[in-house]
Amino acid sequence: MISTHHAHMDRGIPETRIRKLTFDDLRISLRQGWEDFLDKRGDLVFVGFIYPIVGFFAIAIARNWALLPIIFPLVAGLTLMGPAVASGFYELARRRERHMNASWRHFFLEFKSPAMPSIAALTAVQFGIYVLWLAAAWAVYAATLGPVQPAAWTIFPDSLGQFLSNVFTTPEGWAMIIVGNLVGFMFAVVVLAISVVSFPMLIDRKADVPEAVRTSVRVTLHNPGVILAWGFIVAFLLVLGSLPFFIGLAVVLPVLGYATWHLYTRAVER
């Protein structure tokens, strides 16, 4: 089922037509993503380690106690950058779909693509949201658990043990957990809505950032249950791939990248 055709009043050109998605589309997209990975895993696995390296880097920074209160959003928030990191996989999936040569070097083809400025701009938006999430997480910590720290002149925890004790044994700690997760969920929903098909769309056609984001939001609003379920599937697989020590992301990230491409092809009329 295809949505009603509308027109851009400002430019007088047709809007991208979108389709009604079902949960079966998610299953098929994941299956196709896995098939793409099996076909190209020999020369792509190393690319999947980019994300684990970033994760390890984030943990190393958070070993500074001043950043300990935001360790969870610091690491979890990296998932907001997933659609941008996976852009190379969209190109590989596109080439495989068209029976074109698709080797590891094509992963970086987007850097020479005319769409690169748009991809970079949308990536900057994603990163800006990530920074806002970290700022919001710190504000939640300062407003809840920060004041219960023993030293009156600082809101930084003195040790990991003290921090964990305050988080799980005080009302302020539980308030931080609940409010922090609600805030994080809202940020995640916003990112999901603007990026679920926008990055693949920039790779696939000559679209500008506003058009790609608008189409992504329309897909989300037209298929709220399915897209929300997709977000939970992505989050679950990323958590699963993060155990232990982010190593599993070397598989999960490419599979999700390919699957996102296939979900795009099912959500948007090309």
pLDDT single digits (tens) 76-105: 777 778 888 788 889 888 888 888 876 666
Determine the pLDDT at residue 238.
85
Handedness of CA 233, 137, 66, 156 (dihedral sign): negative
pTM, to two decimals: 0.82
Determine the pLDDT at residue 49.
62
Instruction: Classify residue 16 by its DSSP letter.
Output: P
Q: Phi and psi for 19 in degrees, rounded to 5?
A: -115, 160
Determine the pLDDT at residue 10.
46
The C-alpha atoms of residue 220 and residue 88 are separated, in whole angstroms, by: 23
The C-alpha atoms of residue 72 and residue 62 are separated, in whole angstroms, by: 10
Cα–Cα nearest to 59, from 266, 259, 246, 269: 246
The C-alpha atoms of residue 37 and residue 15 are separated, in whole angstroms, by: 32
The angle formed by the CA atoms of residues 222, 223 and 229, to the nearest 5 degrees, is 155
The pair of structure tokens assigned to 125 is 């938006």
Mark the ranges of the chain whose per-residue pLDDT is less than 50: 1-12, 43, 151-153
The C-alpha atoms of residue 49 and residue 65 are separated, in whole angstroms, by: 27
Provide the CA 17 distance to its chain's centre, in angstroms. 24
Determine the pLDDT at residue 155.
58
* Cis peptide preceding 244, ω within 30 of 0: yes
